[in-house]
Amino acid sequence: MERLAYVAPLALYAVLAFVHLLPGVWAWGERNVPSVGGIAVTMHAFALGIALTSGHPGLGEALSATSCGLMIAWLLTARGGMKNVGMALTPLGTVILGVSTVVPDRTSAVMSSAGPSPWLPVHLGLTFAGLAGFALSFGVGVLYLVARNRLKHKDISRLRSLPPLEWLDRLQFRATLFGFVFLTLGIAAGGAWAAAALERPWAFDPKILATLALWLWYGVALQVRLVLKMRGRWSALMSIAGFTATVSSMIAFRFISGWHSGG
């Protein structure tokens, strides 16, 4: 029943995605994007809070939280004058929230074994803050490649509507660094929770291995930029690949045996 509360924010997200993907079609929608976005994110966060406190969080809540973090990241950048990021983030946030409403309602095995803990909100909050950073880096990376392609083909008229490449590159790096720091803290909090609550905290778990692989991927991406000075296109491609793998693993590994699998 908690997922019914997602219907309204999902509909508003769809409106936002429509306005961003088809600019000039709906003038009223374009004028009211900040207001509609603020209402949608507030409603989504409220519905997510109800879902998380009314029972054990499962795959649907994980996807919903990812969508909420992504849309918060979009809302912050949109208010800062970077409206074009919405072309990538609003459709993605809509799709992820839509998927969260139809996936099987399953409780993770770790919750069944360990039960609620003060570490849980810390672990989830830090982890999803990291995912929001990666989502923002994904959206900015897509926008960077679009702007780069227009510049390469000397499409000056359409290039004027996009931020400068250098500015996009810096924001993409900062979003990746933000996500990496918070994911690191989220992993540490999850490890502390497991050590305190489980008999075998370091047993094999596919989701943990996937998360560590993701952490390593973004760590390499940062080093490639900082040490090898490979910026721009390479940073954008690594962010896009990393976030695509993140969303895929959230779905795939939820159905494989382990602490984070559906029970």
pLDDT score, position 217: 92
Q: In terms of DSSP H, where are the helices of 198-232?
A: 206-226
SS3 262: strand
Q: How confident is the model at residue 216 (pLDDT cuts 50, 70, 90)?
A: very high
Count the neighbouring beta carbons within 10 Å of the beta carbon of residue 240: 19
pLDDT score, position 95: 84
Average confidence (pLDDT) over 127-154: 82
Task: Give this prediction's pTM.
Answer: 0.70
List Cα–Cα distances, 230 to 80, 169, 188, 210, 234, in angstroms: 27, 11, 29, 25, 6
Q: How confident is the model at residue 226 (pLDDT cuts 50, 70, 90)?
A: confident
Tell me: pLDDT of 263 over 50.
no
